[in-house]
Structure 1
Amino acid sequence: MSQQYTEQEVTDIKERVLTALETVIDPELGIDIVNLGLIYEIEFDGETGDTIVKMTLTTMGCPLADILTDQIHQALAEVPEVKNIEVKLVWYPAWTTDKMSRYARIALGIR
């Protein structure tokens, strides 16, 4: 059974997805992936509940990709509208410390 969400509902769902992703902590840095600026885009299909999380990693050969992907799946299980989750790693634009929130920079001592 498919459901149509209004644009506002989709926006709200994406906000809740982002909030859920704030519980995913980068084990090396001890800061969540949202504040690190690793989440580039969230796509949510209102008909199917399919959710695509486009994200990057701080370094290309980062060994944490699988761990973070598993944690993303666990975190998004808390958002009832989200059905199928796909995590897509993107390398462009490349991640830099500029993408970090002020909170993350302070926590890591980066100016």
Structure 2
Amino acid sequence: MAGPTAAPTRREPTPDEFVAMQQSPEFQELRSTFRGFTFPVMIVAFIWYVVYVLLATFLPETMARPFLGLNVGLWLGLAQFLTTFLITWIYVRWANANIEPRAAHIRQEMEG
């Protein structure tokens, strides 16, 4: 019976190597790509949430109107959940294509 196999050891980068990588063009491009997607999406999602709260606060009669068996407020509340899951799904697909390969390359360079 064979014993458990040891996990491959990774090289621990030095603090200077971390700083050098952080300042490298490759890392700066990765960070810029990440921010270029996430910041606009985060801002739009936040605005959508604030609009929902403001509608509920200042236009309760509009939110209480019946629409397709529910009221407008419930439909918009369900849309909040739907957009959250949609944003998450889009981000995961985008990150797997645009962030993960670059991050894996950087990790491989750092850990050897």
State the TM bucket, normalised to the shorter chain: 0.3 to 0.5
When you count strand as a share of all residues, which structure comes out higher? 1
State the TM-score, normalized to the length of structure 1: 0.35
Q: TM-score, normalised by structure 2?
A: 0.34
Higher RCO by CA contacts (8 Å cutoff, separation 6 or greater): 2
* Larger Rg belongs to: 2
